[in-house]
Structure 1
């Protein structure tokens, strides 16, 4: 996405200042969502259409390219229009069985219900497909005659815990912490193609735990020049001056400049007038509220003190190489998050007197794993496949070992003692600089969010929070261990 060469300063910039999205997709359901919204009387601005186009992109297998979509934009710009269009599409086009719309407080969810209710009732073609609409003290929902349902809940009350939503809309995401995410993530493991949509405005400090994590992932992807494999992130904001800026600094944005207002408010000139923003600025003064609420300058809690606890970032980055060619046999390993939201396949092979590890595949969900494993097995003839039998990935062992539809080989299943040895060997190899990698972003993110958990007299990998995905790290660790595991090898190695 690129900005127009000469945007009109009286109108908001339609492209976000911060943007990242998974690169590989076949098509998008976004245009159909836009057209359905228009049929219901909801005409979307270009920036809203763009968010839907990117957020609803699909891979060749029909699954979403982005598991998580985050929209960080100032208030009153129309994020509700994106929510309504996505929910209409989920109900009437995608036939998602359950869509959960949550906000921090129920009054916000109730307003959202009333808005989409009005759109549906105002369109005869949609209204005739509705079985019931409820808005009472026990349930606020819309249910179609074909069974699809849209439920409105409040996160602050703990309602909705345990519901399995195909699509989860998290409004007011600047108030979203570990408790809410811990209740939500495990429920999505049973959904074959789930999506999470986060929408809100700039971070407000300590309550913005999850938004801060999403933003850090986006910034890391932009810094590395490698898109996050499962996150689409949009942020309209300014890059504000800092204390060190000299007088007349042009590298940062001036909060009193109309161009800054346009940069942070894509609906300027559509929903918000420059005159209103000018009055808003005069009223709020230099309190910092204007910068946060209108210009997207947020406060985000930091995990810096908790990152890279086990292996230091500098030590890990120093082992990155641009190229490595296999000089012997290879082993593969598979791991999956406890919520089954993401999975990873990693490989390890001898190289330059040590071991090279790499992330071969890291994707949302689990339905893709067996077929991808079969492709890799046929191509590389590995000495073994390794899966921890106590992990969520253990459910794949039977399918992989199946002689007809799987790999037709026995998966190596490490014991608890083996897991501890594998983690120790991985750590020692890094310390001795006997391990290399391609600086894979998923593996680096996993290491940044990993910690140790006791395992007898030793330790194994653990994650700091529910939003941390260490499956690439566990898979890489076990792939390395698999090079020395006792297996019955058949035939000669297929060397690169």
Structure 2
């Protein structure tokens, strides 16, 4: 299809957001193609929008001198034989914008788009361009499901192997499970960071071990919506820390309340461009906390401000490009479909009829998320009455020292006694410790204080001199749970001097009933903590025949162990401790007038 300056309906204004900069005529000419002639058609086709509905605006007009996108578009067409869709061209030009010094403007690029629109092809083209043309030594592709990352990688391998010229660059393809890699011969790169060793494209599963030991340049994370904690993000993205130039590309459909990393990045980007959808007031800051960072660094030492800053996202180097239905759009609105599905009808197999079928059969929020790329905040789900959990959440504010946190009156009294609750994820990979105590106003408060892999660290953590003097008792499910062996071990350990209280049977369901009532009635408070907030918003409750209930580890979409640790603490705090009866007085000699009192006469004393 020829490239002209004529734009498709709904595409005539590529300016997005209140602070956008007109990308220029050259950009329009290359990135947009005309709608085919539909005169005489009973119902003209609706074509997907090339421009994202929301995006980080460019700093200046996008020309071959100000973005690498045009180079990648030509490479795809001439070297790979791939004719990119209009939206893919738009994204490349915007995402690969250059600063005046010639360096990439963005280090973190977040792309939100509905499924089946061509994210994989875009990833393959970008990976090969950075390897072959720009000479970046290591490209790493990840996904929550390793098989998904391997499929994208295999597509790139096929593009190289099936082209006569590109195949000459091929050194080898490693297809061993867990070590798959595409390796090219050393070459003279056009970029600034090339090395004499050949470029490599490796795939890894998105977990806390991904990327450790590697130094990467292009990191591609597919379906970032599935990252429900900071483990994989911290492990993978820190591989770029030592690189002068690098790009972290996160491609995903819309997420939900459990999508901790994606929610944080999207909120930051929306905030930077004026909060066009009004989401920044609705969702608070959810970036990695000191708790998350401590786990990622595998270090029990206190983290200083510089270490924490390494994990904070720099909004100046963060870019967002979001194709989605606008809030409040009717799910049957076909222009809304075109906003969230930019490949609509540009791909002959991806038609309005396909989307219409899904619209009729899918539950509304399945359709809105998967096809409309709209976010479900999960406000009507979870075990608590809608809004109840948030009512007990302490407000976050800017403190006197300039940091973000909770005020002194919303903290457990420093140095006061606390109770500890412990629980472990259903796969035994993570253990959570919660502390509960009372604030200066006498109100109960519970918060997660530690979350780390395994459970061997729990004894040392609780017995540390900084904490041991405060902890009155500890509880975790005593029987039939992943945490039960640890509780049994602590109870039997003579070196562990904190009382271990048995928590089992009806005490479990009574504890959960107390938490439910306390959250509903706002008699217990807690700090904003993503791992706890997510568990509280999404936990699935198992109901027993008598009506008693308890959160279900396996049935819940997100990990509920933080909420169970919370419940153990709250139960401990409200547990009625029955004082043992005083010991009997020492026996006294029986005084009788008859010193020859017979044993048979004892029966007459009324015992």
Which TM-score applies when normalising by structure 1?
0.56
CA contact (8 A) 1:162 1:184 kept: no
Q: Secondary structure at the match of 1:110?
A: helix
Equivalent of 1:130 in 123, 148, 170:
170
1:13 counterpart (49, 73, 89): 49
Cα 1:65/1:157, change in 2 over 3 Å? closer
Specify the alignment match of 1:70 in structure 2: 110
Counterparts in 2 of 1:273-288, with a 5 A limit?
Answer: 273-286=351-364, 288=365
**Taking structure 1 as reference, are residues 224 and 283 closer, same or farther at Cα in structure 2, changes over 3 Å only?**
closer
Question: What's 2:121 paired with?
Answer: 81
Q: d(CA) in 2 for partners of 1:97 and 1:213?
A: 29
CA–CA separation in structure 1 for the residues paired with 2:249 and 2:395: 26
CA contact 1:54–1:232 (8 Å) conserved in 2: no
| Residues 172-197 of structure 1: CA deviation (Å, up to 9, x unaligned) | 11122311122134332211111110
Instruction: Provide the C-alpha distance between the structure 1 equivalents of 2:106 and 2:58, rounded to a whole number of angstroms.
Output: 6
1:310 corresponds, among 387, 396, 399, to: 399
The change in CA–CA distance for 1:5 and 1:166 in structure 2 (over 3 A counts) is closer
Partner of 1:4: 12
The answer to whether residue 212 in structure 2 is matched with residue 161 in structure 1 is: yes
* Secondary structure of residue in 1 paired with 2:397: coil
Change (3 A) 1:238 1:129: same
- 2:385 is equivalent to residue 293 of structure 1: no
Q: Is residue 45 of structure 1 aligned with residue 85 of structure 2?
A: yes
Instruction: Name the residue aligned to 2:593.
Output: none
Question: Alpha-carbon deviation of 1:148?
Answer: 0.7
Stretch moving more, 56-65 or 121-130: 56-65
The separation in 1 between residues aligned to 2:107 and 2:320, in whole angstroms, is 11
In the alignment, the residues of structure 2 paired with residue 190 and residue 262 of structure 1 have an alpha-carbon distance, to the nearest angstrom, of 40
Contact 1:68 1:195 in 2 (8 A): yes
The secondary structure found in structure 2 opposite 1:174 is helix
Deviates more, 1:26-35 or 1:161-170: 26-35
1:55 and 1:306 map into 2 onto residues whose CA distance is 36
> For the structure 1 residues 49 and 158, does the alpha-carbon distance in structure 2 shift closer, same or farther, using more than 3 Å as the test?
same
Q: 1:268, CA displacement in angstroms?
A: 0.7
Change (3 A) 1:228 1:20: farther
Q: Distance in 2 between matches of 1:29 and 1:299?
A: 35
CA distance in 1, matches of 2:126, 2:135: 12
The alignment status of 1:231 with 2:231, answered yes or no, reads no
Pick the aligned partner of 1:28 from 67, 73, 77.
Answer: 67
Shift of 1:285: 4.0
SS for the counterpart of 1:81 is helix
CA distance 1:115–1:185, shift in 2 (3 Å)? closer
Contact 2:56/2:273 (<8 A) preserved: yes
Is the Cα–Cα contact under 8 Å of residues 21 and 229 in structure 1 kept in the other structure?
no
Aligned equivalents of 2:358 and 2:275: distance in 1?
37
Q: In the TM superposition, what are the counterparts of 1:356-371 in structure 2 within 5 Å?
A: none
Q: Deviations over 1:374-416 (max 9, x none)?
A: xxxxxxxxxxxxxxxxxxxxxxxxxxxxxxxxxxxxxxxxxxx
What's the CA shift string for 1:252-303, capped at 9, x where partnerless? Answer: x2111111111111011123200011111111143x1001100011235999
Relative distance call for 1:276 and 1:224 in structure 2 (3 A) is closer
Q: Report the aligned-residue RMSD.
A: 3.2
- Match of 1:69, SS state, is strand
Match 1:58 to one of 89, 92, 98: 98
Structure 1 SS opposite 2:134: coil
CA distance 1:140–1:231, shift in 2 (3 Å):
same
Which of 1 and 2 has higher RCO (CA within 8 Å, sep 6+)? Answer: 1
**TM-score, normalized by length of structure 2?**
0.46
* Structure number with larger C-alpha Rg: 2
Task: Choose which of 187, 196, 202 in structure 1 pairs with 2:239.
Answer: 187
Contact 2:119 2:251 in 1 (8 A): yes
CA contact (8 A) 1:66 1:231 kept: yes
Question: Unaligned stretches of 5+ in structure 2?
Answer: 1-6, 15-34, 36-43, 187-197, 277-313, 380-389, 405-527, 530-607
Number of equivalenced pairs: 303
